[in-house]
A and B are shown apart, each in its own frame.
Chain A
């Protein structure tokens, strides 16, 4: 009985010691709007369309991403390239390339299916907005290619600073 009491009291004190140590340690909180997390390399955030080294669009309008998409959120209409003034390296290019970001489940299958690494999911996670219409990402929204972790391309347009902590 007495042994149990002593052991129990000791255990309670150990617990209080743990929380006391926690109080003295640095909080793990990110002060979000001022400080933004650097996301892991393979984080699947918002989509972007790549350009190649000549500045042409990588997308060849093959619609494999659209076919592979489990929720049918990608809409691609391809068109023939003008040989004198090509939009992409291939025979065709995507005349319309739209992603419904509300429907998208951010699975990354489009990225995997793409034969030319045109569509990618990147670390941009700030996807909140007030208007449903802005969630239909068109080619103009997707073709910007920001530096890693520079959050200047989001819908609200209010975030520029990136900090580890």
Chain B
């Protein structure tokens, strides 16, 4: 009997492993978000010479649980002027794309269990980078639809700003990543990380510092984080595209933003900081990877607590007239180097 079941299952282990990995990634990501919110509030507090939430539980960690519980029990308000279908669709798109984007991110070497090779990734695609860019740009649809279906001036403004901003900065993001792709010769994120193994000097950060800076700036803009958080802009647009959202639907946007932040940090780690290679002998791939991502998240928070929001026209000028030519030049320079010297 049991043999029969095992025989039946034998060709399908990849499927079972895939499902388990998908669950682990989705649940892990969703449960990281409250912790990240807690981290942001605590760290922002320290950056602003105050304490941050420290009342609920030890170190205020209960705040993460309290926030989630509060959002789950909040009333779900849909104003009568909203387009119901699109209004419900928008947060789903944002949450879905955010989680799916992360699925293509590798965070360690594969290992063997019972004859089955288990890779520490959701899916090791040979077009991983392209897939991530494609899916993460689909998240814009969620934001634009949210702004449009809310039937609210602020929301519409937020949605429009968001689409303009993300389209502008995606070019820089792609071009900066392209120079890395050209140098390592693969779109596969696992290959890109393997390309950076060895000494600390083989990190892409060392060989392509300009691409790193450009990618980081564009990444901050891409995730709608301060100082590029114009779509939300509390002071001018109330909350931008999710002004009308409440309860768990609001939380979906919130989660989407924070998961995008994690994905962007992971992507920067993979492309420029050598992924799970520690370079200093400490060889626990997942921990090294998580530590690098954590540091980048702290930098994201640091940026938010330091810089005021950039003005809209300056955002566009900065994106189109400064970052884009610079990233083009950078990309052309590295491709010329690749063709002329590295063969």
Which of A's residues lie within 8 Å of B, judged by CB?
12, 15-16, 18-20, 22-23, 25-29, 31
Chain B residues with Cβ under 8 A from A20's Cβ? Answer: 47, 302
Q: Contact between B306 and A23 (Cβ–Cβ < 8 Å)? A: no
CA distance A28 to B305 in the complex (A): 17
B317 CB to closest chain A CB, in angstroms? 13
**Interface pair B306/A16, CB less than 8 Å apart:** yes
Q: Can you show 24 pairs from A to B with CB atoms below 8 A apart?
A: A15-B306, A16-B302, A16-B303, A16-B306, A19-B47, A19-B302, A19-B305, A19-B306, A20-B47, A22-B46, A22-B47, A22-B49, A23-B43, A23-B46, A23-B47, A25-B49, A26-B49, A27-B45, A27-B46, A27-B49, A27-B51, A28-B50, A29-B50, A31-B51
Question: Chain B residues in contact with chain A, CB under 8 A?
Answer: 43, 45-51, 302-303, 305-307
- Smallest Cβ-Cβ distance to A22: which chain B residue: B49
A28 to B49, CA, bound (A): 6
Distance to closest chain A CB from B142 (angstroms): 31
Q: Report which residue of B43, B46, B49 has the largest number of chain A beta carbons within 10 angstroms of its beta carbon.
A: B49
Main secondary structure of the interface of A (DSSP, over half): helix
Residue of B nearest to A33 (CB): B55
Assuming the contacts A12-B307, A15-B307, asked whether A22 and B48 have C-beta atoms less than 8 A apart, the reply is yes
Q: Which residue on B lies nearest to A18, using beta carbons?
A: B306
- Whether B306 pairs with A27 at a CB distance below 8 angstroms is no
Whole-angstrom CA separation of A10 from B303 in the bound complex: 15
Chain B residues contacting A16 (CB-CB under 8 Å) are: 302-303, 306
A29-B51 in contact (CB<8A): yes
Bound-state CA distance A27–B50 (Å) is 5
**Nearest opposing residue in chain B for A12, CB measure:** B307
A19-B305, A19-B306, A22-B49 are known; give 9 further A-B pairs, CB within 8 A: A15-B306, A16-B302, A16-B306, A19-B47, A19-B48, A22-B46, A23-B46, A29-B50, A31-B51
Q: Which among A23, A29, A31 has the highest number of chain B CB atoms within 10 Å? A: A23
Which residue from chain B places its CB closest to the CB of A31 in the assembled complex? B51
Q: Which residues of A contact B51 (CB under 8 A)?
A: 27, 29, 31
Residues of the B chain whose Cβ atoms lie less than 8 Å from the Cβ of A15: 306-307
**Which residues of chain A are near B48, meaning CB under 8 Å?**
19, 22
Bound complex: CA A25 to CA B47 (Å):
9
- Report the bound CA distance from A81 to B48 in whole Å: 59
A18–chain B nearest beta-carbon distance, Å: 8
